[in-house]
A and B are shown apart, each in its own frame.
Chain A
Amino acid sequence: MRHQLTLGIGPATFRIGSAWRQPLDQLARLYADYPQPSGTIADFTVRLQPAGFTRRWLRPSIFITGDHGLADAAPMSLAHGLLAAEMGMNLQMALGWRRHLLLHASSVERDGRALVMTGESGSGKSTLAAQLGERGWRLMGDEFALLDLDTGMIFPFPRLVSLKNRAIDVIAGEAPPERMGPLLAGTAKGDIRHLVPRADAIAAMGQGARPAMLIFPRFGPEAELRAVGQGEVFMRLTQASTNYVALGEPGFAALTRFVTSVPARAIDFPSGDAAIAMVEQLWDQLP
């Protein structure tokens, strides 16, 4: 394709081709601390191509696809090209990654142990992970936690953190401006701004951690803490995994081990600070 960039994030390498220069320039700048090994063999190809014959120039519009794609994906404005590239990479992971059990979860690490947070979009798991990442934890990823099929370790996929709407101001108050991407206003998910993880988190993106706790966070009016039974955890994680079915028996075995060995809690929190206090307290109580 006309423009291309190769990016290494965690264990995966992406070859991204684009009909336009701008999204790749933004990507190269924000991913400056990541490996950009041009000319290596990539795990996935991502394509940002014009959504129609004239759409390279006229009201430029991006169709996101690649090795794996969705035929009915809605085209995106070139102004949101950075988001399109991110979505393109996520799509390849979600549909094509087979070397770990993929959990739709954020994760952070401290003292060699991982805290995994899962929940629906809007539960606050991304923001919580980003905040913990600014406060002494190592950010492992805000979107996918990779569960190793053989060892049961969690491996990072520390792409840019995607901050939405109110979370943007919360994090912009903590992280330096040079680690914040451009404001993408009025996307299908509202306003979005990306956060570059800290340099030490990027440098450690090959290092796994033993999972020590699973949290189901939910932004809510009252602080509340609940235990969650293993049956429920198992069912919720099968729904939170995009490749559980594709992995077959090894996926089942890895998830069973995770569910039976990692304590799980659901927390409702009224504010970010409250959530962090609850998490720290739970963490300190771990054996």
Chain B
Amino acid sequence: MSARPLVHALRDPATVTGLDESGWNALIAMARAERLIGTLAHRIGDRPVPQAVRAILTDALTDAEREARQALWEADRAAEALAPLDGPVILLKGTAYAAASLSAAQGRFIGDLDILVPRDALPMVEQALFAAGWEWVKSDPYDDAYYRQWMHELPPLIHASRDRIIDVHHTVLPLTARQTPDAAAMIADAVPLPNGLAILSPEDRICHSVAHLLADGDMQGGLRNLWDIHCLLDGADDRRLAQRAARHGLARHVRQAQRLAAALYGDGARLTLWDRIVIARLLARDGWGRERRKLLVFAFYIRSHWLRMPPAMLAHHLFTKWRKGHRPA
């Protein structure tokens, strides 16, 4: 079994009325595992569903509402702390979609707060966040040095009393990645929101999300990221998007994301062999919420590291992490 039923339900929620009990159990388990239960609840809306399902969907919507409220409060706190910054705090991912009331935010799970700031502002940003009560999540000298030398973000910070994590990005992808999106251009073209916040332009939002789905990472939670992209693509101007993607070195990735989103959540698309492999990875989830296709999943895990760093550096990194006791899940 794969996560097809979840994809079908999101694409065409009217079809869920035909599910039997075991079909519902499977759909709910995979939606929770992919962190799409709130989105699913939103898509199903007021359609008639069994009473037991209604209770679960209502819980999911209440959770999503609370998460959005907490996320926006956290963004507000960050904006307050970073008031001395020259320019707004640019929100990324879930918090950004919620702050701008985009369709991608409906029912969406929101985890950490992600913000983008100019790289030369980092020392000041760190100081301001410390002063406002944030601290490092963990202090491992190797990880810290690794983040600072090679990554696109600071090591995660957590707020001492609110217990919420902030990821401070200064660019889009790790500095070792093959693509080098133009973060300065993203910052320059960001769209201001009230209260010292801002969000990336419509095209840059898509490029940012696509970069993380297809040019980085191992596609954990990929169905949700692709759902974001599907929502963000709705209403985007194809020509402007293609130009912007080319500028960021992501033209190929954005075209692939458009095909994947159309294939899974839209009206279908002509797929390449590589598209089909990516889709097999994205759907590797069964009706108990378990990850399936272990070898394929592991291959994508290896690929994520391969994309991030040249071979010699990768070998050194994996050896160091292995000595510290880290094992892939």
Contact = CB atoms under 8 A, between A and B. Distances in A.
B304 interface: no
B25 A43 contact: no
Interface in A1-32: 1, 13, 15, 17
B25 A42 contact: yes
B21 A99 contact: no
A157 B56 CA distance: 18
Contact of B66 (A45, A67, A99, A246): A246
Nearest to B69: A248
B167 interface: no
Interface in B48-75: 50, 52-53, 55-56, 59, 62-63, 66, 69
A66 B329 CA distance: 16
B290 A47 contact: yes
A47 B21 contact: no
Interface in A28-43: 39-43
A98 B29 contact: no
A127 interface: no
Contacts of B28: 41, 45, 67
Contacts of A15: 25
A262 B160 CA distance: 33
A246 B67 CA distance: 9
A131 interface: no
Contact of B52 (A1, A40, A49, A248): A40
A67 B50 contact: no
30 contacts: A1-B290, A13-B52, A39-B21, A39-B22, A40-B21, A40-B52, A41-B24, A41-B25, A41-B50, A41-B52, A42-B52, A43-B52, A43-B55, A43-B56, A45-B28, A45-B32, A45-B288, A47-B288, A47-B289, A66-B289, A67-B28, A67-B29, A67-B33, A71-B329, A98-B59, A98-B62, A98-B63, A246-B63, A248-B66, A248-B69
Nearest 6 pairs between A and B by C-beta?
A41-B52, A98-B59, A67-B32, A45-B29, A41-B24, A39-B21
B249 to A, nearest CB: 34
Nearest to B31: A67
A66 B33 CA distance: 9
B24 A1 contact: no
Contacts of A41: 21, 24-25, 28, 50, 52-53
A13 B28 CA distance: 13
B325 to A, nearest CB: 12
Interface of B: 21-22, 24-25, 28-29, 32-33, 50, 52-53, 55-56, 59, 62-63, 66, 69, 288-290, 329
Contact of B289 (A13, A45, A71): A45
A1 B292 CA distance: 12
Contacts of A45: 25, 28-29, 32, 288-289
A59 to B, nearest CB: 18
A71 B63 CA distance: 21
Contacts of B329: 71
Nearest to B37: A67
Most chain B beta-carbon contacts within 10 A, residue among A47, A68, A71:
A47
Contacts of B32: 45, 67-68
Contact of B55 (A39, A68, A99): A99
A248 B69 CA distance: 10
A42 B59 CA distance: 14
A167 B329 CA distance: 38
A57 to B, nearest CB: 17
Interface string A86-100: 000000000000110
Nearest to A71: B329
A43 to B, nearest CB: 6
A68 B37 CA distance: 13
A146 to B, nearest CB: 14
A168 to B, nearest CB: 34
Nearest to A47: B288
Nearest to B20: A39
Given A13-B52, A43-B52, A45-B28, 8 more contacts: A15-B25, A43-B55, A45-B25, A47-B290, A67-B33, A67-B289, A99-B59, A248-B66
A68 B56 CA distance: 14
A43 B28 CA distance: 9
B40 to A, nearest CB: 13
A62 B69 CA distance: 37
A66 B30 CA distance: 11
B112 to A, nearest CB: 16
A208 B62 CA distance: 24
Contacts of B66: 246, 248
Given A67-B32, A98-B63, A99-B55, A1 B50 contact: no
A71 B327 CA distance: 13
A39 B329 CA distance: 31
A98 B50 CA distance: 18
Contacts of B56: 43
A135 B21 CA distance: 41
A42 B29 CA distance: 10
Contact of B288 (A1, A40, A71, A98): A1
Contacts of A99: 55, 59
Contacts of B289: 45, 47, 66-67
Contacts of B55: 43, 99
Contacts of A246: 63, 66
A17 B288 contact: yes
